[in-house]
Amino acid sequence: MRRLFFPFLTVLCLIAPLSDGFAQISASSADFDTQTITLALTQEPPQLNSMKATDQVSALILGHVMEGLLSYDRRGKIIPGVAEKWEIDSTGATFWLRKDARWSDGKPVTADDFLFAWQTALKPETASEYSFILYSIGNAEDINKGKKPTESLAVTVVDDHTLTVEFETPIGYFDKLVAFTTFFPARRDFFKARGDSYGADAKDLLFNGPFRMTDWVHSASLKMVKNEHYWDRDNIHLNAINADYITEDSRARLNLYIDGKIVHTRLDGETYKDALTQRQRIRSFTTGSVFYLEYNFREDRITTNRNLRKAIQHVFDPEEFVNKVLATPGNLPGRSLFPVWLGGVEDKFRREYKAAEPKIDLALARDYLEKAKVELGVEKIPPLVLLVGNSPTSAKQAEYLQGVFKEKLDIDVKIDIQTFKQRLAKMTSGDFDMVAAGWGPDFDDIMTFGDLFASWNLNNRGRYNNPDYDRLVRIGMTSADPKTRMDAMGELQRILTEDAVIIPQYEQGVIYLMHPKVKGVVRRVVGADPDFRRARIVK
């Protein structure tokens, strides 16, 4: 026994210190004296190169440590960022950078840093998945496709603090785009020095935002402290933001919150009841994302039949879906591709252009179904394949839909649960009849949703193809007149319902807990969310 016991302990002692790097965890989640907060991230950011970032966790971190030319205020209005003033007309834009904007090593942020970042994002070798967002800049698309050299980008560095941009085609929302992550700056000398590892670790990044990252222990913690070189440092109250935990498990996060270890956690349909019994104050917020069922419009699919789609439209009750299946507050019944928060001409778009609400009418639906059967020449509609992801919630939603289709229309639904990559592969190759999909906004303009079902859009996985739709999208993208654009989008919204292109399910809302002593946290539809940049801790 002794002989075995000893090596065992030795091995244990040898290995234990190896994991010492993880042993710094703050005492309290919101500390008034040091103005420090502690968070839990849902996932590890894949990397933090702003030109290549695609996911929400990266956007959250980058939003705190970087700053673009423009930014959003707490009500979601565009405000100055690195640029202190700007002018945009139909042919181009000019930005005047503030002189006191500095990188975390103290050197000034210059116009060249933006030019370099945009050129790098567009370089074919970078293979940035978000490069398309820069396409409104002159020659950008050609550069991205390798047809023109990167130097041909229609951006001019007039001097260190002036930057001009020429547009490829007129665009009505360039100011909103500039606030997006892909437009964040990067410094040429630093980027070149780091090479391939730029953004892979805390030491491989330079920051120009209100915070800078000091430490990143992969899949364990990520620490940020106030950036002493930030131009508006006097209005930044927090000294440090520590993301000490990384877990997807919502129950684990709730337990951490109750234990006073983190200041914020998102709740779901399963955990909110526990939060209620723990007498925690629950808040709600609409994320701005829209979830819907997408049909397959490829030629051989029965979902190309409009009457079939209409039949489904008249039995799917988004209100029941939101109240009984999602069953958490904050979600809104899906009525349109365009969520309620989008701006229109003067007011909100959805108030100016009301979305039609298809009646839930079983008799009408069965009429449509009969017509569909005649047109398709079948006795019974063959089973429909519903492609969903492998998260527990998507399985639950699929089961509900299966029940509705069977009970109301006697249509069998085959649920096809696939892991992330397999689902994407099937979506792209068109191996489905219906797919549960969602779209989150990239920038604060209606076109972030509007062009989704344009025939050229690669994210239009069902290959919906309607020349009218395409025409309206072009108006929306290139017109500078708000009224013309919104009229086009209003018409587009009508087509979507009339043609039953998609079945909107819900506009996502989340419920969450936030430490009562932490004030000034902003929840955002676009950009870093939750935004702790201007947060402070009260006594």
Please report, as residue ranges, which positions from 196 to 255 form the binding site for other proteins (by CB under 8 A): 196-200, 217-220, 244-249, 251-252, 255
- Smallest distance from other proteins to CB 481, Å: 29
The window from 85-93, 97-105, 127-135, 473-481 that contacts other proteins (CB under 8 A) reads 127-135
Closest CA to 199 of 209, 213, 189, 220: 213
Measured CA distances, 175 to 37, 113, 348, 490 (Å): 32, 18, 19, 23
Say how far apart CA 488 and CA 446 lie, in whole Å: 11
Q: Which is nearer to other proteins, 254 or 496 (CB)?
A: 254
Q: How far is the CB of 19 from other proteins (least distance, A)?
A: 5
| Min dist. Cβ of residue 409 to other proteins (A) | 12
Residue matched to tokens 């229109």: 344
Q: Which is nearer to other proteins, 166 or 270 (CB)?
A: 270
**Which residue's CB is nearer to other proteins, number 102 or number 187?**
187
Report the nearest approach of other proteins to the CB of residue 118 (Å): 16
Element (H, E) at 223: strand 221-226
Q: CB 130 → other proteins: shortest distance, Å?
A: 7
Instruction: Give the nearest distance from C-beta 242 to other proteins in angstroms.
Output: 11
Amino acid identity at 6? F
DSSP letters, 481-509, are: -HHHHHHHHHHHHHHHHHTT-EEEEEEEE
- The nearer residue to other proteins, 214 or 250, going by C-beta atoms, is 250
Taking the C-alpha atoms of residue 62 and residue 48, their distance in angstroms, rounded to an integer, is 7
What residues numbered 459-478 form the site for other proteins, per CB under 8 A?
A: 459, 461
CB closer to other proteins, 132 vs 190: 132
Backbone angles phi and psi of 151, in degrees to 5: -65, -20
Name the minimum Å distance from CB 48 to other proteins: 9
Q: 291: closest CA among 440, 488, 477?
A: 440
The residues in 249-308 that bind other proteins, with binding defined as CB under 8 A, are 249, 251-252, 255-256, 258-261, 270-274, 276-277, 279-284
Question: Which amino acid is it at 259?
Answer: D
Q: Which is nearer to other proteins, 70 or 143 (CB)?
A: 143
Q: Which residues contact 515 (CB under 8 A, 6 or more apart)?
A: 29, 30, 37, 263, 264
Taking the least distance from each CB to other proteins, the nearer of 487 and 531 is 531
| Residue pair 354/402 in contact by the 8 Å Cβ criterion | no
Q: What minimum distance in Å lies between the beta carbon of 7 and other proteins? A: 8
Q: Minimum distance between the CB of residue 383 and other proteins, rounded to whole angstroms?
A: 6
**DSSP assignment letter at 168:** S
Q: Minimum Å distance from CB 164 to other proteins? A: 27
Question: Scanning residues 334 to 363, which ones bind other proteins (CB under 8 A)?
Answer: 362
Which neighbouring-strand residues pair with 20?
Answer: none
The residues in 485-514 that bind other proteins, with binding defined as CB under 8 A, are: 511
Q: Which residues neighbour 498 within 8 Å (Cβ) at sequence distance 6 or greater?
A: 356
Site for other proteins in 49-108 (CB under 8 A): 49, 52, 54
- The owner of tokens 């591709």 is 337
Give the number of residues in contact with other proteins, rule: CB under 8 A.
Answer: 117
- At 98, the amino acid letter reads R
- The helix (run of H) or strand (run of E) holding residue 12 is helix 2-15
Binds other proteins by CB under 8 A, chosen from 36, 104, 120, 128: 128
Q: Which of residues 371-430 bind other proteins (CB under 8 A)?
A: 383, 385-387, 389-392, 395-396, 398-400, 402-403, 406-407, 412-422, 424-425, 428
Nearer to other proteins, 374 or 420 (CB): 420
Residue range at the interface with other proteins (CB under 8 A); choices 8-16, 77-85, 86-94, 374-382:
8-16
Q: Which is nearer to other proteins, 271 or 336 (CB)?
A: 271
Nearer to other proteins, 110 or 120 (CB): 120
Within 144-183, which residues bind other proteins (CB under 8 A)? Answer: 144-146
The single residue among 31, 168, 232, 319 that binds other proteins, judged by CB under 8 A, is 319
Neighbour tally for 35: CB within 10 Å: 17
Give which of 214, 158, 163, 218 is closest to 185, Cα–Cα.
163
Is the peptide bond between 318 and the residue preceding it cis, with omega within 30 degrees of 0? no
User: Between residues 247 and 304, which has the closer beta carbon with respect to other proteins?
Assistant: 247
Closest CA relative to residue 294, chosen from 319, 277, 278, 312: 312
Nearest-approach distance from CB 313 to other proteins, in angstroms: 18
Nearer Cβ to other proteins, position 146 or 149? Answer: 146
Got the DSSP string for 444-473? SSTHHHHGGGSTT-TT-TT----HHHHHHH
